[in-house]
Amino acid sequence: MDDNDVPYHKRLKEPPVQNITPSTSRGTYNSTYPLTPPVTTKVGIKYRIGIVSDMDHSSKSKTEDFTWISYLLRGYVVWNPVSNSVNVFWDDTKPVILKSSLGESGRGMELSEMIVFNGKLYAVDDRTGMLFEIDNNGVIPWVVLQDGNGRVAKGFKCEWAAVKQQKLYVGGLGKEWTNHEGDTLNLHPLWVKTITATGEVNHLNWHDNYLSLRSAIGIEFPGYMSHEAGVWSDVHNRWFFLPRRCSKERYNPDLDEKRSCNVLLNADEDFNNIKVTYVGEITPTHGFSSFRFVPGTSDRIIVALKSVEDAGLTATYIMAFDVTGKIILEETKVADFKYEGLEFI
């Protein structure tokens, strides 16, 4: 029998599949974190980190049709437990360009957060609601998150991500969606998504949780608090949030760029007990966009990104501090565009 006599589907030769989504069978979970083992050196413990960009309209590729891009920049955080110091070093090579042909209304790959979950590295797109796996300097679509309660055609505007009890939590701005006059259009950003290791999505109404967070510093509607940085701590058994914007005034798109805040909020699981800590001085245009606890510090030391969007100008800064608000590393400029996702990789 020659090849022509063999059915076509049997003649197809493909490499064996090593990883099929969903990637985890029920009952197993890969808790490896960070993905790269830290290295102890003379100057401290060296951790691999990465940050991803959200370039808004500039994410559209200038060289390829129907393609959107994000930059992945890698580096190291070095923590010295003796001197309690943190230093950050970036790779000398250019950032990796992550590409995707998936967009919504002409936009895509506006990656707002990056997170390790179930032994893999993921990033979320705040335009399409797509959750991408980052693999071999490329992206693989895994789960798409819809806005609001999940019964909405528009993709979820993902802004922060955390792992809690082997589930991935993805949240949005945590404020009412308003028009330019500050009038409420919908409450979709007040929902949070949970994703299991097998890709099952549930939609949680966090309306009361978000309102409790902003009430902790005396903000009530039409004032607002917007979130882009949230983490669950197994050590403290509490939620930690670094709000991007805080205002007791009605939302205004122009004034919003100068309403950054310097507040670290931490709440118990039910958001009944909320503690407020202030971190440094306010720079009105510098708002928190992502943070992670440094591994091995008992969730005591935080490394955070701050993003700037001011009259068309953008920038990114990185800093470190502890949970009492003590500054360990002052704001240090990273780039002249927006990196909004940080993770120990």
Residue 133 known to bind ligand: no
> What does DSSP assign to residue 104?
B
Residue 340 known to bind ligand: yes
Residue located via tokens 């909004």: 340
Residue 228 known to bind ligand: yes
Cβ pair 175, 136 in contact under 8 A: no
Rounded distance between C-alpha atoms, residue 168 and residue 132, angstroms: 13
Strand pairing report for 313-322 and 327-335:
antiparallel
Rounded distance between C-alpha atoms, residue 54 and residue 341, angstroms: 8
Kindly write down the DSSP assignment for every residue of 245-285, as one continuous string.
Answer: EEESSPP-HHHHTT-B--EEEEE-TTSSSEEEEE-S---TT
Residue located via tokens 């979970």: 29
Long-range contacts of 240-243 (CB under 8 A, 24+ apart): 240/264, 240/265, 240/266, 240/291, 240/302, 240/323, 241/213, 241/265, 241/266, 241/267, 242/279, 242/288, 242/291, 242/304, 243/213, 243/214, 243/287, 243/288
Check whether the bond before 22 is cis (ω within 30° of 0).
yes
Residue 181 known to bind ligand: no
- Token pair for 71: 């930059």
Residue ranges of the binding site: 112-113, 159, 228, 289, 340
Binding-site positions for Ca(2+):
112-113, 159, 228, 289, 340
